[in-house]
Amino acid sequence: MDALHYKPSEIARSLAGKQTSTVALIVPDILNPFFPEIAKSMELAATQYGYTLILCNSGDDGSKEADYFSILKQKKIDGIVLASYTARPEQLAELQQSIPIVVIDNRFEKKYGIPSIISQNKNGAVQAVRHLAELGCRKIAHLCGPNGVVSAMDRLTGFKEECSRQGLFDPELMEQGDYHLEGGYQAARQLLARRPDVDAIFAGNDLMAVGALKALYEAGLSVPGDVKLIGFDGVSLPLVFPQLSTVAQPIAGMGRKAMDLLVHLIRDESVPRSVIEMEVTLKVGHSTGGNFL
């Protein structure tokens, strides 16, 4: 084998009932920098384990996700890491009977037995509001993430609870967004039209924060002078100015942990059939008057 530089055919091995040494990552939006960073860390871990990673973009479309599930099963994929806002737990519980699955950036009830990795979203929102309040902000607004998305709901809950504790909660200072640049831009425009007295904005993710930055600039408002701005995720945005303050998720750690769990499942090893919450970190950048370079 060494002399002839022979390498076993993974296709032939899979036809013989063995593993293909291939795993898949399904994400809802490849344009959101959070997911490519997850993919990068997962690919590194997969290579170390001797696996090849396939990246699938569902476009947040449940029917497209279902098509991927069917195709990946036919191709005898060894396991799937899924980031989805549309998948139903019953659907995944049935699917994991035939293929190992780990869910990332979401969670389901423990009874479904689906290993899940998510950040401490509520705690991160509390940190963001507390930071803005400590800077003297009194009209703190929130650009919410999509309805029905666990991370967005948790961040909204944290925002409401901490604002209430600070005596600052005002329902008029909330605007619906969608985790996209354009959504953040439009939400910020609507917010400023209704409440031009806002002095701080906590955006549901970094992309919406960048969209809000554009809206604030167009309104003639300076950041952080007139309005302080903070996002959530901690994705790499080196060309954005001013540099965003953000609640950073341990993105590389999440990708690595997902791959570790998936390999354990593939090997029929014991793993926690519950939710793993990972800590977040407040990073103070120029947009709230600091610098974390």
Answer whether residue 6 shows pLDDT above 80.
no
Residue 109 is predicted with a pLDDT of: 85
- The domain spans of the chain are 10-119+250-278, 121-249+282-288
Answer whether residue 19 shows pLDDT above 90.
no
Domains 10-119+250-278 and 121-249+282-288 share a fold: yes
The half-sphere exposure of 7 on its side-chain side, counting CA atoms within 13 A, is 2
pLDDT band at 14 (very low <50, low <70, confident <90, very high): very low
The share of the chain scoring above pLDDT 70, in percent, equals: 93
The matching CATH number, chosen from 3.40.50.960, 3.40.50.2300, 1.10.10.60, 1.10.3720.10, for 121-249+282-288 is: 3.40.50.2300
Listed in sequence order, the DSSP H helices in 87-241 are: 89-95, 121-134, 150-165, 181-194, 206-218
Q: How many CB atoms are located within 10 Å of the residue 234 CB?
A: 25
Q: Which CATH architecture has domain 10-119+250-278?
A: 3-Layer(aba) Sandwich (3.40)
Range in 35-44, 133-142, 272-281 the model is least confident about:
272-281
pLDDT band at 16 (very low <50, low <70, confident <90, very high): very low
pLDDT band at 270 (very low <50, low <70, confident <90, very high): confident
Answer whether residue 292 shows pLDDT above 70.
no
Query: Are the CB atoms for 169 and 186 separated by under 8 Å?
Result: no
Residue 290 is predicted with a pLDDT of: 79
Mean pLDDT, the chain, as a whole number?
A: 93
pLDDT band at 64 (very low <50, low <70, confident <90, very high): very high
Which residues, in sequence order, are CB contacts of 26 under 8 Å at separation 6+? 56, 57, 58, 65, 68, 80, 81, 82, 83, 84
pLDDT band at 272 (very low <50, low <70, confident <90, very high): confident
Average pLDDT rounded to a whole number, residues 109-134? 95
pLDDT band at 111 (very low <50, low <70, confident <90, very high): confident
Answer whether residue 4 shows pLDDT above 70.
no
Average pLDDT rounded to a whole number, residues 150-170? 97
235, two tokens? 């994705």
Residue 168 is predicted with a pLDDT of: 97
Residue 8 is predicted with a pLDDT of: 60
Average pLDDT rounded to a whole number, residues 230-249? 95
